[in-house]
Structure 1
């Protein structure tokens, strides 16, 4: 399920294909242009990576042009960064970046907006262009990004393999008295050692009762023999995320923990078994909850039980469409990638989250990483 050789990065040709798909969608939606902000969609379509600030850096996609919107003092830097070829339109500190965007549009033309643009950019555009000409670009962008290409899946698979190995090393590293922060630093260093240049993109290490808090507790923790351990971490390769959680004990599990761990694993398997072409994302969440309720645990979001959705999409964003959540009518298609993590929380005792990811293939669902084997055996 893992690979030891890093796959190729996303090519210029693939990004150009993405832009072509976007332009076809623009024509069907009767919009002249799309404004990409300093977002993951900017990276997806153009290759330019830029972190959001109070200044607009982005790109306007037109039917026959790609125009980068850049502050004057950042022009030389942008021109050195990897990106698709395109014009560079500059605005100075005393000028209005929204007016520059407006100047690229035909009279009366509609502009679709990146769904992740900050509100201050939207307000500036309403003043420069008028709210009536601004269109929600969510579906234009997200529908293209929703199903991953083979190149994207290969990068995610590689990142997952790195993080699974880091989990193995962390499992061997934890010992009585160790601080959670020390484990977090170790995991970051191991991600770097294995080739994830940025280290961990995030890391949660929880011991004992703190495992019942899905995103971890504030303050320092120290591992005590017999504690339940939850480790949730990931990295990025060419921008694409990994995200894996293991929950286990280092010693002999108590009968209660072993039984609850088995229910969690069965709920995770129920999600995988429900993942078939055409199935709705909501039906996968339903499958997890039905399995949990079958064992006498909370229905709906009641505790002890599953307090949140059963999974989320993953790609350039660690949480993106499709969301595996009740009532989501999005239907599964090949290329969709999403987590499978129907966590069970037992308040004031512990939480058990087993998180692996699935990608939909022409034959059906496939694991990126094989699920954990047992409550004291976190690896297949």
Structure 2
């Protein structure tokens, strides 16, 4: 639940929806042993690629390897993983007690004072381990100032992308990770279903969003809101700032997710409120439903991720949409990677050559948008298995049964 939602008693639709739900049992979080195994695998990859060390600053990847959940600021906190031996954590002196509470793997915590250079600690450590002359890998979201300042400390050290280490690991989920993602998806669809059952004319998008947030929290998920797009706003994939109030016959697009022990869901449902859909609304909904099935059929082990998007776009163009990303039609990619972050590499987008492999997880959301009228988006996530893709949540059968 967001801070704003948790600071005040629930009321109206939010309170009504939350009262109707019962908290769910959750799977256990990632263990220390699994994080240690991740570090050992990272070291194997570093050695295979002739790299001396990996640096990962605050963010999802720091959590992935160490359990440390920390924000980014001008004061860096990072893990430095050498090709051999235990890693170190670099953090400000006054943050050490907090970092130590979260640390779940064997690692020395080295601190720096406010008037000291934190990247000197990194440079000294690389020298100690005898890898200062080897390339140092950086996680892809590390900020520029870290590499810039490390280069000043170690002018002869080449800094390279760590994608072949971090991305290669995080893209392929373990059974434990998949179980957490399944729980998050189950919570999100249950929250959506309950809110949908309580909708009434005159409700605002913000009121509906608050109800989704409350329902998600009640069920045990950690959510930070949802998109509630009503009427013409549903034709804008990420919505409009204009206020909208629910009325009979409106197209309503719900898009949101939550996390369970750090692992994410992402689901969209579109329906018509309080009236039978028009012929055009039904037609477009059915086409998007078909688009999801086309995407799933194209998602085969060994296929390029971009081929999934291409398969959908070919069908849409044959139905008169596009061409390509033009409107009316599908103006965004067919899907994105998902895991510890709602959006993470790689995407189901034209030109993406990464091969699909078991353990990879994606959203499947080939919406169709008619500017000035309405948009339809159905979004369910799936994970790859040796036998092909498998849904976390099953798409609804029809616009008349938007939640099955």
- Shorter chain as denominator, the TM-score bin is over 0.9
1:341 counterpart residue number = 365
Cα distance in 1, alignment partners of residues 136 and 176 from structure 2: 30
Structure 1 residue 131 displacement after superposition? 7.2
Structure 1 residue 313 displacement after superposition? 0.7
Structure 1 residue 376 displacement after superposition? 2.8
Moved more, 131-140 or 56-65: 131-140
Instruction: Answer whether contact 2:35 2:104 (CA < 8 A) is retained.
Output: no
- Deviation sequence 1:226-252 (CA, Å, 0-9, x none): 110000011111110011000111220
Structure 1 residue 4 displacement after superposition? 5.5
1:373 maps onto 2:393 in alignment: no
Aligned equivalent of 2:100, options 79, 85, 110: 79
- Deviation sequence 1:281-335 (CA, Å, 0-9, x none): 1111011112212222222111111101100010011111221001111111111
Structure 1 residue 159 displacement after superposition? 0.4
Cα distance in 1, alignment partners of residues 302 and 102 from structure 2: 40
Aligned equivalent of 1:113, options 134, 138, 146: 138
Instruction: Answer whether contact 2:364 2:382 (CA < 8 A) is retained.
Output: yes
1:239 maps onto 2:259 in alignment: no
Instruction: Answer whether contact 1:322 1:336 (CA < 8 A) is retained.
Output: no
Instruction: Answer whether contact 1:159 1:237 (CA < 8 A) is retained.
Output: yes
Aligned positions of 1:278-357 closer than 5 A: 278-357=302-381
Structure 1 residue 82 displacement after superposition? 4.4
Instruction: Answer whether contact 1:311 1:338 (CA < 8 A) is retained.
Output: yes
Structure 1 residue 118 displacement after superposition? 1.6
Aligned equivalent of 2:114, options 71, 90, 93: 93
Partner of 1:105, secondary structure, is helix
Cα distance in 2, alignment partners of residues 82 and 203 from structure 1: 31
Cα distance in 2, alignment partners of residues 201 and 240 from structure 1: 14
Cα distance in 2, alignment partners of residues 17 and 132 from structure 1: 27
Aligned equivalent of 2:73, options 53, 62, 75: 53
2:179 counterpart residue number = 154
- Deviation sequence 1:90-143 (CA, Å, 0-9, x none): 000000011111110124233211111122222222222237521211221101
Aligned positions of 1:130-145 closer than 5 A: 130=155, 132-145=157-170
- Deviation sequence 1:246-272 (CA, Å, 0-9, x none): 011122000010011111111111001
Instruction: Answer whether contact 1:241 1:316 (CA < 8 A) is retained.
Output: yes
Cα distance in 2, alignment partners of residues 93 and 270 from structure 1: 55
Per the normalisation by structure 1, the TM-score is 0.96
Structure 1 residue 202 displacement after superposition? 3.9
Cα distance in 2, alignment partners of residues 40 and 273 from structure 1: 31
Aligned equivalent of 1:33, options 53, 71, 74: 53
Aligned equivalent of 1:229, options 227, 249, 252: 252
Cα distance in 2, alignment partners of residues 130 and 184 from structure 1: 51
Alignment RMSD (CA, Å)? 1.4
Instruction: Answer whether contact 1:4 1:158 (CA < 8 A) is retained.
Output: no
Moved more, 102-111 or 23-32: 102-111
Partner of 1:276, secondary structure, is coil
1:183 counterpart residue number = 208
Instruction: Answer whether contact 2:362 2:383 (CA < 8 A) is retained.
Output: yes
Moved over 3 A (4+): none
Cα distance in 1, alignment partners of residues 158 and 328 from structure 2: 49
Aligned equivalent of 2:384, options 348, 360, 377: 360
Partner of 1:351, secondary structure, is strand
Aligned equivalent of 1:270, options 291, 294, 307: 294
Structure 1 residue 219 displacement after superposition? 3.6
Partner of 1:365, secondary structure, is strand
Instruction: Answer whether contact 2:134 2:157 (CA < 8 A) is retained.
Output: no
Cα distance in 1, alignment partners of residues 25 and 58 from structure 2: 30
Instruction: Answer whether contact 1:37 1:58 (CA < 8 A) is retained.
Output: yes
